[in-house]
Chain A
Amino acid sequence: MTDDIREPETEWLGMTRRSLLKALVSVPVFGVFFVSFLKKKAADDYRRRALLAELGVTEGGPAVIENAVSRPPSKRIRLGIIGFGGEGESLVRHAGFAHPEWIKEARKAHDEDPRDKELETYLGQDDLNVALTAVCDVFDIRAERGVAASQVAARPGGGSANPPAKRFRRYTELLASGEVDAVIIATPDHWHSRMTIDAASRGIPVYCEKCMTRTEAEANAMYNAVKGSKIVFQLGHQNRQSESHQKAREVVAANILGPITLVESTTNRNSPWGAWVWDIHPQGNPQTIDWEHFQEPAAKRVPFNLERFFRWRCWLDYGTGLSGDLLSHEYDGVNMILGLGIPKSVVASGGVYFFKDGRDAPDVFQAVYEYPDRALTFVYSATLANGNNRGLVFMGHDASLRVSGALSVAAEQESTRFAQKIEDGIIDPSRPMFTYRPGSKGIDAVTSATAEYFASRGLLYTYRGGRRVSAYHLHIAEWLDAIRNGGDTSCNIERGFEEAITCHMATRSYVEGRRVTWDPALRRIV
């Protein structure tokens, strides 16, 4: 072999050259990693910057949150509740008065599933500085529940327990008692108008549940009364507070979608509860329920009927079924994002196809609204016997916007505006251009499949500064803030009137089996 004479190895850092090379063997691989990494990062950054610059929408949460309440609640407000059913109890809880039994159950639910944060969210609510001083319900058991809630010890924001509310059998007595500064109305729809008008005549501010009224005539009367009295009025569409709706409005305002020609909103539920087959209270009977008073303003009087009392949404005598219950929410969401107002015309159809339990409110219902001035159609489609979640989609020539708890925007393959970007590979029409998850730090323009999946699951809560809050709570807080400090509510009587008329047009069309239109000059459905 070759000779044994080797050059004396040079020592470097106390190592031979050979040793040193061995120690550094991975450095070239690391170099390759780094170069590839920087290349990929540069490409992603370029894509992201190009996209956001093109879209003209900010990365963070909604830039403007309308009527965000930051002022401390100065004056204590005495609150009355009319109608302490499921919705009434929920509203009062979001104002800071949970029924003690609810607290017990929420605690148990959290112990069983740590993801259940209902109790924590309740206790984390701001103290709105209100006292629940008056409860009115025609069912004794519910009225007593309301009184129990009014003196609950576990109050949000460390608020102290209050003395018990007074129970009233007639809402007129409650309004006249001088015990309330403001009132929440959560009765069935056929009472909303009369109660609001009476409250307005006494200058008492009203938070009223949707649907605003049961009929067109009631909507007109209520509109005039609220306008005339100048009371602070809030209609119960808490979606007004949802961060994703606010962000959606920003996306539409930035004209990312191009001309929107079709908006599709849907309701899919598949349970008896979702179809208003609500529990009949075992103690409900003619002695505990003032039935005659309940049905006083109803279109048709019938003998005492437990189903009609506890499942009132199934009958058009007390409400308008899907139209006033769920179309109203969907419409208000779209109205908030697009500012549509009252449509020109509607054709509605449907039927009682699944829950043939004696109801007359349809369980399958579609309404097609035309807005020729806006060059778009708004379609609502609902079934109470299938749970396939179809969501809410705004369809534009350049992109589609899908709104659920989260929000995602996908470009159109044939988009005019994005044609060059699609050709350049900056935009991939088969994937969302960006998603926005409420509570996350902002828009995600380089969406991975996983992120997309999690965004699509949506969230039950809305967010303020990353903190989870209930939209109901914010909606009530906004109303109370306007009472104390002036200013307008986000779902005021104008928006409420638009909601009521839009829903009633669909109901009329369904009941009369014809296309109905809105006469803006006469302000009448024809």
Chain B
Amino acid sequence: MPWSSSPTFQVGTLVALRLLVGWHFLYEGLAKLLNPYWTSAGYLAESQWWFQGLFLAIAATPTAVTIVDYLNMWGQTLIGLGLMLGLFTRWATVAGVVLLALYYIVAPPFAGYTYGMPAEGSYLIVNKVLIELAALLVLLAYPTGRTFGLDRFFARAGASASEPLAPAVAGGVRHD
């Protein structure tokens, strides 16, 4: 068996992926929480695709912007904490997917759409938001929180509780 198929390596990379995405979320959230001048209004105002009307209406309504700002700041922070610590991992992953999908919908890099916002790379349909979203889907399919995370405490309290790990890992247990 090549080393890259070893259960240790597979689980290790999954946990590492979870930590990296969690780190990113947590810092994005905290940076916003600690910057009193941050607001989502500018980003929303760039909206061009689905639900454009809704996003623009939010951007133009101070109360709605305040609510969206809070949801973003705390959403990102809590998702980040969840992913990093492996706490309520499943909920954090699902919430992360939803949030990233919203970011993508507001400003998808489609041909013909141009944005005034500064971007640090070149994108066509696929951007880093979409890739991070896909990474979270992988983490949803192969969760690691109950084995390598605080969820383990809850898992113990519940039934027999070792979570279905990555198939190769699970397979590894079965076949090797």
Q: Which A residues lie at the B interface, using CB under 8 A?
A: 13-15, 19, 22-27, 29-30, 33, 37, 41, 113-115, 117, 437, 440-442, 444, 446, 449-451, 453-454, 457, 466
Residues on A with beta carbons closer than 8 Å to the beta carbon of B116:
453, 457
Residues on A with beta carbons closer than 8 Å to the beta carbon of B157:
14
Interface mask (B19-45 → A, CB under 8 Å = 1, otherwise 0): 100110011001000111111001001
By the criterion CB–CB under 8 Å, are B149 and A26 in contact? yes
Q: Which residue of A15, A33, A449 contacts B152 across the interface (Cβ within 8 Å)?
A: A15
In this complex, what residue of A is CB-closest to B80?
Answer: A33
Q: Tell me, rounded to whole Å, the shortest Cβ–Cβ distance linking A440 to chain B.
A: 5
By the criterion CB–CB under 8 Å, are B57 and A114 in contact? yes
By the criterion CB–CB under 8 Å, are B152 and A19 in contact? yes
By the criterion CB–CB under 8 Å, are B39 and A440 in contact? yes
By the criterion CB–CB under 8 Å, are A114 and B86 in contact? no
In this complex, what residue of A is CB-closest to B37?
Answer: A444
| Contact flag A450-B42 (CB < 8 Å), given A22-B148, A23-B148 | yes
Q: Tell me, rounded to whole Å, the shortest Cβ–Cβ distance linking A468 to chain B.
A: 8
Q: Tell me, rounded to whole Å, the shortest Cβ–Cβ distance linking B13 to chain A.
A: 14
| Contact flag A26-B60 (CB < 8 Å), given A444-B37, A453-B117 | no
- 8 example contacts (A-B, Cβ-Cβ < 8 A) are as follows A29-B23, A113-B56, A115-B56, A115-B57, A115-B59, A115-B60, A117-B60, A450-B118
Interface check B128, CB cutoff 8 A: no
Docked complex Cα distance between A489 and B82 (Å): 57
Interface mask (B82-111 → A, CB under 8 Å = 1, otherwise 0): 001110000000000000000000000000
Docked complex Cα distance between A515 and B64 (Å): 56
Q: Which residue of A15, A41, A457 contacts B156 across the interface (Cβ within 8 Å)?
A: A15
Q: Tell me, rounded to whole Å, the shortest Cβ–Cβ distance linking A221 to chain B.
A: 47
Q: Which residue of B30, B53, B84 contacts A26 across the interface (Cβ within 8 Å)?
A: B84
In this complex, what residue of A is CB-closest to B86?
Answer: A26
By the criterion CB–CB under 8 Å, are B35 and A446 in contact? yes
Docked complex Cα distance between A441 and B86 (Å): 36
Q: Which residue of A37, A113, A437 contacts B30 across the interface (Cβ within 8 Å)?
A: A37
By the criterion CB–CB under 8 Å, are A114 and B34 in contact? no
| Contact flag A454-B42 (CB < 8 Å), given A26-B149, A114-B60 | yes
By the criterion CB–CB under 8 Å, are A22 and B152 in contact? yes
Majority secondary structure, B binding face? helix
Residues on A with beta carbons closer than 8 Å to the beta carbon of B27:
33, 37
By the criterion CB–CB under 8 Å, are B56 and A23 in contact? no
In this complex, what residue of A is CB-closest to B55?
Answer: A114
By the criterion CB–CB under 8 Å, are B37 and A442 in contact? yes
Docked complex Cα distance between A26 and B151 (Å): 12
Residues on A with beta carbons closer than 8 Å to the beta carbon of B152:
15, 19, 22-23
Interface mask (B43-87 → A, CB under 8 Å = 1, otherwise 0): 001000000010011011010000000000000000000001110
By the criterion CB–CB under 8 Å, are A441 and B56 in contact? no
Interface check B153, CB cutoff 8 A: yes
Residues on A with beta carbons closer than 8 Å to the beta carbon of B15:
25-26
Q: Tell me, rounded to whole Å, the shortest Cβ–Cβ distance linking A211 to chain B.
A: 34
Docked complex Cα distance between A441 and B66 (Å): 12
Residues on A with beta carbons closer than 8 Å to the beta carbon of B140:
none
Sort A-B residue pairs by CB-CB distance and give the 9 closest, nearest first.
Answer: A23-B152, A114-B57, A454-B42, A444-B37, A449-B118, A25-B148, A115-B60, A114-B56, A115-B56
By the criterion CB–CB under 8 Å, are A29 and B118 in contact? no
Docked complex Cα distance between A23 and B30 (Å): 24
7 additional contacts (CB under 8 A) given A14-B156, A15-B152, A37-B27: A22-B152, A25-B149, A440-B39, A442-B36, A444-B37, A453-B42, A454-B42
Docked complex Cα distance between A14 and B57 (Å): 52
| Contact flag A466-B37 (CB < 8 Å), given A22-B147, A457-B116 | no
Residues on A with beta carbons closer than 8 Å to the beta carbon of B156:
14-15, 19
Within 8 A of A (CB), among B113-158: 116-118, 147-153, 156-157
In this complex, what residue of A is CB-closest to B19?
Answer: A29
Residues on A with beta carbons closer than 8 Å to the beta carbon of B59:
115
Docked complex Cα distance between A327 and B56 (Å): 35
Residues on B with beta carbons closer than 8 Å to the beta carbon of A114:
53, 56-57, 60
In this complex, what residue of B is CB-closest to A116?
Answer: B60
Residues on B with beta carbons closer than 8 Å to the beta carbon of A13:
153
Residues on A with beta carbons closer than 8 Å to the beta carbon of B62:
466
Residues on B with beta carbons closer than 8 Å to the beta carbon of A14:
156-157
Docked complex Cα distance between A466 and B56 (Å): 19
Q: Tell me, rounded to whole Å, the shortest Cβ–Cβ distance linking A482 to chain B.
A: 30
Q: Tell me, rounded to whole Å, the shortest Cβ–Cβ distance linking B121 to chain A.
A: 13
Docked complex Cα distance between A41 and B34 (Å): 9
